[in-house]
Chains A and B, each alone.
Chain A
């Protein structure tokens, strides 16, 4: 059981890395927002997996809840930011790609 949970956790981290590439590269704002959300949601599951691994699930449920609630605010804040500051078009910079 523990081996399975560990493997699943490692797989989740790998998936988070893939999504992170989308969050950094963009190119559109929607890509980034969805990527931020997906990372947050996976993090909650990862916290619960860690709780099972450490044998203290009831403590990690609290942490996961707190993280989930705050992650929601981060998502809202990020989308507000893009609503105010940017259009939903791909960002263009002198170098062609938005990030180095």
Chain B
């Protein structure tokens, strides 16, 4: 256990870390002070990337992967497609000196409180901190024997802490439903109502041959890589969340480079929403199957009568099933959120 940490600590990387932390603060300030919102979106992408490097520096490679995929990748696309419908110029609100003063006081007081709590935090990498002293040694020493999964993060996420991940997946599902219910416009209402969609000046979509052909070439590669990320999450950073995001992003790429209609011909609205729910359902059903086999909820070891291998291998296979469920939900949630944001809930055309 100590050997793994030694490698990291002997490297001359503190200059790297100091530089990164300075850059993170700098990017945050710049992103808040820019008035052009497209510029702010780009700076936020760079900010996320710096956070990704910091996570990697702490040895949290899985988190770094998630940050790179979600923070720097997909969320920037979401922001851009939102700006497509709202416009990128920010209008400064006039007046309100008292309000500004009030906000300033609140922020300062909250900041002072946070800073005063800072000395109570354990040191970075402190072996005696509660996190490292209580359950982490058990996970690190027992993972291989229990689950045959070399990547401890994956086994903790999907097995030891399976309930947390089930509810996290549900959160993604609920977020998708919430965005859907806020933005989606009723079709019957749309036909009688405002013809605003036609008023937006636009060029012929998908008129660039280069972009189309490049995307056509890229999409299968992306999907293959995403499947690798999901399936190989047992051995390397990755898993259902990251792979699902990349899968969803490959379909978003199709929607952007071709047309929303092109995508919706293959994945109708109904199929999309069914699949968003199907992922969570798969996860919950695997848990329920364990109950029927005589174990606790999400205790994959009891699946060994229907899955190949002994109890430890059954846990490994159970983790894979659950990761696939997470991947399906995340993939189609990303797609549904993007379509809603890009087409302003009309599902006809957009970014």
Answer yes or no: do A and B interact: yes
Q: Which residues of A contact B (CB under 8 A)?
A: 2-3, 6, 9-10, 13, 16-17, 20, 23-24, 26, 32, 35-36, 39, 43, 46-47, 50-51, 53-56, 58-60, 62-63, 65-67, 69-74, 76-81, 83-85, 91, 93, 98-100
Judge whether A20 and B46 touch: CB under 8 Å: yes
CA distance A74 to B11 in the complex (A): 33
Q: DSSP majority for the A interface?
A: helix
| A85–B87 CB distance below 8 A | yes
Contacts of A100 in B (CB 8 A): 33-35
Cβ A81 vs Cβ B225 within 8 A: no
Contacts of B266 in A (CB 8 A): none
Asked whether B65 lies within 8 Å of A76 as measured between CB atoms, the reply is no
- Min CB distance B346 to A, Å, is 15
Task: Give the complex CA separation of A85 and B81 in angstroms.
Answer: 11
In the complex, chain B residues whose CB is within 8 Å of the CB of A84: 84, 200, 202-203, 351
B61, A56: Cβ atoms under 8 Å?
yes
Contact check, A74 vs B229: say whether CB atoms are below 8 A apart: no
| Interface footprint category on B | 35 or more
Partner of A73, one of B43, B49, B53, B253: B253
Q: Is B88 an interface residue (CB 8 A)?
A: yes
User: Would you mind naming 29 contact pairs between A and B with Cβ atoms under 8 Å apart?
Assistant: A2-B11, A3-B12, A6-B16, A32-B38, A32-B42, A35-B42, A46-B53, A47-B52, A50-B16, A51-B56, A54-B13, A54-B59, A58-B236, A60-B56, A60-B61, A66-B65, A67-B49, A67-B68, A67-B73, A69-B221, A72-B253, A74-B45, A76-B256, A76-B257, A77-B81, A81-B80, A81-B83, A81-B84, A93-B89
Majority DSSP secondary structure for residues of B touching A: helix
Q: Which residues of B contact A72 (CB under 8 A)?
A: 218, 253
A59-B61 in contact given A70-B73, A81-B351, A84-B202 (Cβ < 8 Å): yes
Nearest first, the 10 closest Cβ-Cβ pairs linking A and B are A70-B73, A67-B68, A77-B80, A77-B77, A74-B76, A24-B39, A100-B35, A63-B65, A99-B36, A73-B253
A70–B153 Cα distance when bound, in Å, is 23
The CA of A54 and the CA of B61, in the complex, are separated in Å by 11
Contact assessment for B39 and A53 in the assembled complex, using a CB-CB cutoff below 8 Å: no
> Which residues of chain B have C-beta atoms less than 8 A from A79's C-beta?
211
Which of B36, B249, B257 is close to A98, meaning CB atoms less than 8 Å apart?
Answer: B36
A residues near B215, Cβ cutoff 8 Å? 76
Residues of B within 8 A of A47 (CB): 52-53, 56, 68
**B56 to A63, Cβ gap below 8 A?**
yes
Measured between beta carbons, the chain B residues less than 8 angstroms from A66 are 65, 68-69, 73, 225, 229, 242, 246
Complex contact A59–B236 (CB within 8 A): yes
